[in-house]
Each structure stands twice: as structure tokens, then as C-alpha cells.
Amino acid sequence: MTEYDYWKIFPRMPRKVTIGDITVRDGFQHEEKFISTEAKKFYLEELIFAGCRHIEVTNLGNPYLMPQFRDAEDLLAHLRGDRFKKRCERKGINTDDISLTAITIREGAVDRAIALRKRGIGPDRVLMMVSTEEEHHFANSGTTLPAYWKEAERCIKKCSDVGIKMCGTVSTIWGSPIGGATDLKDAVEFTKRWLEIGAHDVEHADHDGSATAAEVYRYFSMILDAIPDTRLHIAHFHETKRVASASILATLQAGIVNFEATLGGLGGQPANFLDDCPVKGTGDYYYDDPRYVGLTCLEDLLVQVDEMGITHGYDVDRILWLGRQMERTIGRRLRSDAAINGRTLKEGHMQYARPGLAKTKEKLGEGPGQKLPGDWAPQAVLPEACRPR
């Protein structure tokens, strides 16, 4: 007989997951208008109050390249300030449980994070990034892979000396928007290299929506066979073909427990235009239509795992409300369906019921809850041709 218990079919699939939010960094970096510092503070706070404990705050790279993050120090100082700590205390949130991450692609940004740490407002964790496809890596970082690996090794040592954790990202795992198809074995090797040189954890990234569910399951199975500690791995998916939810499911089936997402599916390549002015960004966009670029929607991901019975630690309804507020902040319809349509409620939506069912059943001589004609047998008898062989 077929096994119907999902967790027996996929014994590695978790009952509990951790979902980090990266809206204010990865989400906003793609926007071609400056999101106000007050709005950023609002969403950082509200995401934490709604249950987020791993949050990307900002990018500490050169604001000349990405002026969206010219308020980086203000945001970090706000989350380290007494006002925010007191608000957390009133809500029963221990600020020691909150991990603040800043992106530091190059060594100069890492040095900035260390200086901020010494001032008492620095991040708990920083992130550097390699791509398995070197053209994509060069477009992101401006340097070669061998040179970057040595830079990352230096930076990890510097960070360790001041108590900052380093996350190493591996990108273009399932393909590159520049160089095309890639080999999964390269990404497994790069993951090992990050851990070898001292990274605290590794983000496994599909940065352009190249992944398919089958290849995602294969890759993360390979990863956990090679490096079985699930605490070391974070799944990061972009959404360009409306198939990321299938990739999320395949990742769960493989056994991964850590994920990232953004409100409304915001995000993508850093903007090369802000407000009324062209800016450097990371150069020309490698997509044709910005409506079909972004990350996994936090709202939809939460509804997906929540309705599977997987524990996640968020107030889902609060996140759905935040998603609707984000549409007003950004000024357009975003990509979350759950933010608009809500959750599938087990008690239903009786406000949509057509009146008169009970009276109609009574008039027809049917009992309450009766679903079959009274003269039918209690169990169906299948025709011989339809029975299991």
C-alpha cells in the first residue's frame, strides 16, 4: 500500500523551521525610489514584533554605489538603542535572541562593520558572497574568485576577533543569468570551502530563479549528505517564474530548516536608478521586466508552512497585514497572493454562504449533514474495471 504519512515519505523534512527576513536590505535594494529611514525602522521593528529573529538590516557597502543604504548606521543605531530595547521588553522579546545582519560584499564594508561593532552599534553577523559562475561573481564583486576567497579568509579572521559571525553565500547554484548552466558539485565544494575558512553558516542562493524543484531536492540532499548539520544551511530563492513555492517544498523534503524571504517578494539586483537620478548599482539589469523579479514572498511562505503544520514562530496574520502596508509604502501591487486572499481557514468563510440550505434540506426530507441519497449503500462499490489491481 502507498505510504500516506508525508513525514515518513520524507523523513528529513522538519517539523519546525526558522525564517529570516531580508526585506529592508535585499527587498529595498531593488527599488528605484528611496525608502524613507522612518519606513525602514517601522518595518524592521514590526517584523521583529511579529516573530522575526534573524533580520537583514542594511548593506554596509559604498553608498555611492547603492544610495538606498546611505542610512545604514541610523538603522543599526536604532535597533541597538534603548527605545527599541524597551519596546521589546514590554512585548516579552529578549533582544539577545535577535540577530542583526549587514551585507558586506567587500573588505571595506567588513572593516566598516567592525568599526561600528566597536562603537556598540555594529551587526551580529555579516555576509560575503561568491558565485560558482565567475562572470556573475565578477559582476557582483569586481574581482576574481581566487582573489575573493583570500579576501574572505582575511575578513572572517577580522570578524572573529571582534565577535562578528560571517555568513558565506554561494550563488548561481542552479544557473547564472550571465554564464548559464552550472554544476551542482561546484556549489557543494564552495560550501565546504566557506566552512573550512571559518564561516558561521552558508546561504545557498538561487539569485535569478533558475532552480527547479527536482534539482533543488537533489542539491540539498547532496549538501546534507556532505554536511549534515542543518544549522549551517540557509535556503534563499528568487521568484521569476512563479515556481519558488515548489522549490521551497523540495527544500523542506530534503531536510533544510532555515529560509529567507521578503515582504511582497520584493528584491533583486541593486537599482541603477534612484528617485530622479541614475546611480551606479551593479551595472545594467540582467532582466527585461522588473515586474517578474524578486524573492520568495514571506507572506506566502509562512502560509505554506503554517498550513502544513510546521512551526515557524511568526504571527501570520500580523505579517499578512504588514504585507498590505508594504504595498502602500512601495506604491504598487506586490507579488504576495496570501497578503490579499488571506489564509485557508479550517472553519471556513461562512460570510460567503448562500442562505437557506438548512430549510431546503428540511423541505427535501434530508437530515442535517446528510451528503448522499438515503437509499444508497453506506460505501461505494467500484466497477470491476476501476478497482486497484
DSSP code string of 272-290: SEETTEE--TTSS-S-S-G
| pLDDT at residue 209, rounded to an integer | 87
Average per-residue pLDDT for the chain: 96
pLDDT band at 207 (very low <50, low <70, confident <90, very high): confident
Query: Which residues are CB-neighbours of 193 under 8 A, at least 6 positions away?
Result: 149
- Provide the pLDDT for residue 142: 92
Fold (CATH) for 13-341:
TIM Barrel (3.20.20)
> Beta strands 18-21 and 125-131: pairing type?
unpaired
pLDDT tens digits along 149-179: 999 999 999 999 999 999 999 999 999 989 9
For β-strands 201-206 and 165-171, DSSP reports them as parallel
Residue 134 pLDDT: 96
pLDDT computed for residue 286 by the predictor? 82
DSSP state of 265: G
Is the pLDDT score of 349 beyond 90? no
Per-residue model confidence (pLDDT) at position 292 = 82
The predicted model gives 349-373 an average pLDDT of: 94
Q: Is the pTM of this model over 0.85?
A: yes
**Percentage of the chain with pLDDT > 90?**
89
Question: Across the strands, what pairs with 247?
Answer: none
Which cell numbers hold the place of 375?
437509499
Q: What is the pLDDT of residues 101-130, one digit of tens each?
A: 999 999 999 999 999 999 999 999 999 999
Question: What is the structure's pLDDT at 242?
Answer: 86
CB count, 10 Å around CB of 304?
18
Mean pLDDT of 64-78: 97
List the domain boundaries for the chain. 13-341
Q: pLDDT per residue over 260-307, tens digit each?
A: 999 999 999 899 999 999 999 988 888 888 778 899 999 999 999 999
Neighbours of 42 (CB within 10 A): 15
